[in-house]
Amino acid sequence: MSINARLLIAASLIAAAVPAYAAVSSGVGKALNAAAAAARSRNAAGVAAAIAQARAAASTAEEKQKTAEMAGFAFTAVGQYAQAAAALEQVGAPCGQLGPLYYRAGQLDKAVAIARGCPGEASQILVAQSMSRQGNHRAAVAAYNKLIASNGAKGVYLENLAGAQFKAGDKAGYLATTTRLIKSDPSPSRWKVLLTEIQGQNMRSEAKLALYHLMQTTGTLNRAQDYTDFAKLALIAGQAAVAKAALDKAGAGSDTMSQKLAAAAAAGVAKEAAEAVKLSAAPNTAFKGGNAYLGLNEYAKAVAAYDKAIAANGPDVDFARIFKGIAAVKGGQKAAALAAFKAVDEKSGMKDIANLWSLYASVRG
């Protein structure tokens, strides 16, 4: 599941108000005023120059404290988080403020070191996100599990845990977390988070086609490019009616490639019924016949054709199993669907998407 990071660091980076700096010399006060003005106008060079002047002029402990506080505020305002963190660390800023600053500065090892010694949920989030950002997905899994154990199984934590498990190759853990999420909330928005994560992974074209079918079924397919990609894969698989319906959703493109794709889908639809009958007759072409029937929404006939292909035990047997399951789901045959998905071989490259379809079938309606 980036998982791309979806959590916000739940801690304030720096006080929103400009630090007060009464009882400082005029030279320091003037420089701090200039730093505040530069921060408000997002003038990074001005901030750096004014802070340098204030540091040069500061002589008392209070002046140095006020200068560091202003440096934290001003450098944060212009996105220079490392400088802000370094300045605040020198004057003993709290860990809940320093950790997020180092995180945003990209100094993840230091952010983690600080956060691990800092109490609270926000620090645990920071550790987990840092591990994900570093690509240390196994450590991220452990961090999210600890976060959940301490603070409860919030949906956003489970989503990020699932993404980390997927990237770490923990398929059993990923499926368990995904199942937990979907059973508690099978809404399109929940499916969208999970399926979008899967969509970004490399997979064989048959698996991607099955994924697009699931995205369509769960109401999570909405980008024109996704519909176009769905149409291309469906057309290659002999699901011409599926391809045409996807292209209709994508909208008519004026470029030559779009027009050729639309023409090919229309031509395929025109002969799909005859092709379904012809291809389903022989075991070695029954899988293609099942695809044609699936495109025509004739699910019982699709299941029968796929059964013939499965009985033949040819090279497309696992493709036939998963698309039989899809046809059975669409045709309301839950038990047959679950049995088909369960039978998909782990080594086929189709098992992950078969598990997701099985999950959908188990929570549907």
At 228-279, the pLDDT tens digits run 999 999 999 999 999 999 998 887 666 788 888 889 999 999 999 999 999 9
Q: Is residue 149 situated within a structural domain?
A: yes
Same domain assignment for residues 126 and 174: yes
Q: Is residue 7 situated within a structural domain?
A: no
Same domain assignment for residues 219 and 92: no
Same domain assignment for residues 206 and 92: no
Domain range for 104: 26-108
Same domain assignment for residues 153 and 165: yes
Q: Is residue 249 situated within a structural domain?
A: yes
Residue with tokens 């995180």: 103
Same domain assignment for residues 131 and 259: no
Q: What is the mean pLDDT of residues 64-70?
A: 92
Percentage of the chain beyond pLDDT 70 is 93
Q: Is residue 342 situated within a structural domain?
A: yes
Does position 9 have pLDDT exceeding 50, yes or no?
A: no
The pLDDT, as a whole number, for residue 2 is: 39
User: Encoding tokens for residue 178?
Assistant: 């995904």
Round to whole Å and give the CA distance between 185 and 74. Answer: 43
- Helix and strand numbers (H, E) in the chain are 20, 0
User: Encoding tokens for residue 309?
Assistant: 């292909």
Round to whole Å and give the CA distance between 278 and 76. Answer: 69
Q: Among residues 205, 252, 214, 264, which one has the least CA distance to residue 233?
A: 205
Round to whole Å and give the CA distance between 178 and 165. Answer: 10
For residues 233 and 208, the answer to whether their CB atoms sit within 8 Å is yes
3 or 134: which carries more pLDDT confidence?
Answer: 134
Band of residue 20 on the pLDDT scale cut at 50, 70, 90: low
Round to whole Å and give the CA distance between 139 and 249. Answer: 41
Q: Is residue 19 situated within a structural domain?
A: no
Same domain assignment for residues 86 and 142: no
Q: Is residue 296 situated within a structural domain?
A: yes
Same domain assignment for residues 332 and 344: yes
Does position 125 have pLDDT exceeding 90, yes or no?
A: yes
Q: Is residue 335 situated within a structural domain?
A: yes
Which helix (DSSP H) or strand (DSSP E) does residue 180 occupy?
helix 171-184
Same domain assignment for residues 194 and 240: yes
Which residues, other chains included, contact 114 with Cβ-Cβ below 8 Å and sequence gap of 6+? 95, 98, 99, 102
Strands (DSSP E) found in the chain: none
Does position 141 have pLDDT exceeding 70, yes or no?
A: yes
Q: Could you say which of 87, 108, 129 is where a domain stops?
A: 108
Round to whole Å and give the CA distance between 34 and 70. Answer: 10
Q: What share of the chain is helix, strand, coil (3-state, %, to 5)?
A: 75, 0, 25
Amino acid identity of residue 173, one-letter, is G
Round to whole Å and give the CA distance between 102 and 95. Answer: 10
Same domain assignment for residues 237 and 352: yes
Q: Could you say which of 56, 75, 108 is where a domain stops?
A: 108
Q: Could you say which of 108, 129, 162 is where a domain stops?
A: 108
For residues 231 and 243, the answer to whether their CB atoms sit within 8 Å is yes
Does position 8 have pLDDT exceeding 90, yes or no?
A: no
- The domain total for the chain is 3
Same domain assignment for residues 90 and 231: no
Helix (H, G, I), strand (E, B) or coil at 350: coil
- CATH classification at residue 130: 1.25.40
Which pTM does this prediction carry?
0.68
Instruction: Report the length, in residues, of the chain.
Output: 365
For residues 268 and 274, the answer to whether their CB atoms sit within 8 Å is no
Q: For residue 139, count other CB atoms closer than 10 A to its CB.
A: 18
DSSP, res 9? P
Q: What does pLDDT average to over the chain? A: 88
Does position 130 have pLDDT exceeding 70, yes or no?
A: yes
Round to whole Å and give the CA distance between 241 and 249. Answer: 13
Round to whole Å and give the CA distance between 190 and 87. Answer: 42
Round to whole Å and give the CA distance between 174 and 187. Answer: 19
Same domain assignment for residues 158 and 85: no
Same domain assignment for residues 160 and 98: no
Lowest mean pLDDT among 11-20, 79-88, 206-215, 344-353: 11-20
Q: Is residue 89 situated within a structural domain?
A: yes
Alpha-carbon separation of residue 235 from 159, 229, 240, 316, 334 (angstroms)? 33, 10, 5, 17, 27
